Each structure stands twice: as C-alpha cells, then as structure tokens.
Amino acid sequence: MRNFNEKYSLVRVLHALVSGEELDVYIDGFPFYMDVRFAQFTPYIYVPEGEHIFSVYLKEERDSPLSEVSIDVKNDELITAAIIEKNDKVDILPIPEKMGVPEDNTSKIKFVHLVPEAPNVNILMGGEEIFNNVGYTDYTEYENVPIGEYKMDIELTENKKTVLSNLVNINPNRIYTFYVIGISPNIDMIQTLDGATFLQ
C-alpha cells in the first residue's frame, strides 16, 4: 500500500448488514466493490477528497439502491465505511481510523458496536474494563494496550452479563479495531488491523 498524496484518502467497506446477502458498492456511479459478503472487509482504495455518493445494491441488481449516502472524504484520512441497518433501513456508517503507529512496543485498539437492537456493552481485556457503555453504531476512542494475549469479554452494561469472550493477540506497533457484528444471540467479533499499520 502506498503512502497518501495530498489529494487522496484511503477508504474500505465492511459488510455488516445482518440480512447477509452479497452486495455491490458503487462510488459516484462507478462499480468499486462487487460480491461483498457478510463480515467481509474490502481492500482499501484511494478516494479523492470531497463529497462522494456511496451506493449499495444487492448483487448484480441496479434497479434501485438499498442505500445512497454522501460521505465527505477529507485529505489524509483512513475510513472504514460500514454497511449497517439503522431505523429499519440500510445505511452506511463512516468510521474514522487513526493515523500514525505506536513506537513504544505497545499498540492501540478501539471497539465498534454494530449489532442492531442489542443493548449497550462494556469491553474487558484480561478482566479489566477498557471501554464502557458502548451503544449501537458507537465507536470508541483508541486506548494504548501492552502487547500480549488477552481474554476479551463483552458484557452487557445493565447487568454485567458476559455475552461473548474471545482470546486475542496484541502484537507490537499495531493499530487494531474490534468490530462486533451479527444479531443477538448470534454475534461475532472481528479483530482487524487499521490501514495505518500498513503505511509504515
């Protein structure tokens, strides 16, 4: 992956729509991502700064989009555009990513809640709460985390009930985002490297 130039940013798409059907994504009327599967992240692409229309269609259908959203892409940005459900409609949620990679043998992590109709949650790593009261479509700020293997727990804010536990590895000098997707009780957590990790 190349470095930015002064007029572009990098954008990728996440299919988090719980219907699970394959999708095609157009930008300003041009096909960019085809046959995107549920839980799939597309590669990053360079998108010029400015307002762009992102259109989501069912696979190989162009009669009417499921959603059309204008996204303002600014210079020197990294964005994951998540295809989600909001108010019973298909929507696109732009999620900004941090530039710059930690250099002190630690890493940064953030958490994104993309489970519709699910309550607010807390996130624990190694038994310690690092994020709390995260609601649907919320994304947290980044937190510094020492390298190592952790048990990550997602618990309901209202009653502390654990709804998902995963073992995760945090490697040095990385930026991670953890996305929780699906529909309760069938939820899953995806650990992904943000684009800045590849720009070193």
159/170 Cα distance (integer angstroms): 28
Long-range contacts of 127-130 (CB under 8 A, 24+ apart): 127/151, 127/153
pLDDT score of 45 more than 50: yes
pLDDT score of 65 more than 70: yes
pLDDT in tens, 161-185: 999 999 999 999 999 999 999 998 8
| pLDDT of res. 200 | 61
Task: Work out the average pLDDT over 149-168.
Answer: 97
- Nearest Cα residue to 76 out of 96, 103, 51, 93: 96
Cis before 94 (ω within 30): no
Which of 3.40.50.300, 1.10.150.20, 2.60.40.10, 3.40.50.9100 would CATH assign to domain 106-199? 2.60.40.10
Residue 195 in 3-state DSSP? Answer: helix
Q: Are 40 and 32 in contact (CB under 8 A)?
A: no
| pLDDT of res. 55 | 97
- What are the Cα distances from residue 43, in Å, to 14, 168, 173, 189? 10, 23, 21, 19
pLDDT in tens, 6-38: 588 899 999 999 988 999 999 999 999 999 999
Share of the chain above pLDDT 90, in %: 81
- Nearest Cα residue to 177 out of 93, 119, 104: 93
CA atoms lying within 13 Å on the CB side of residue 175: 18
Query: Do 8-97 and 106-199 agree at the fold level?
Result: yes
Cis before 48 (ω within 30): no
Task: Work out the average pLDDT over 64-76.
Answer: 93
pLDDT in tens, 81-115: 999 999 889 999 999 998 888 878 889 999 999 99
Place of tokens 């929507």: 91
Model-wide pTM > 0.75: yes
For residue 111, the cross-strand partners are 178
pLDDT in tens, 118-141: 999 999 999 999 999 999 999 999
C-alpha dihedral, 145 to 13 to 182 to 155, nearest 10°: 20
Domain boundaries, the chain: 8-97, 106-199
Q: How many residues belong to the chain?
A: 200
| pLDDT of res. 6 | 57
The third-level CATH classification (topology) of the domain covering 8-97 is: Immunoglobulin-like (2.60.40)
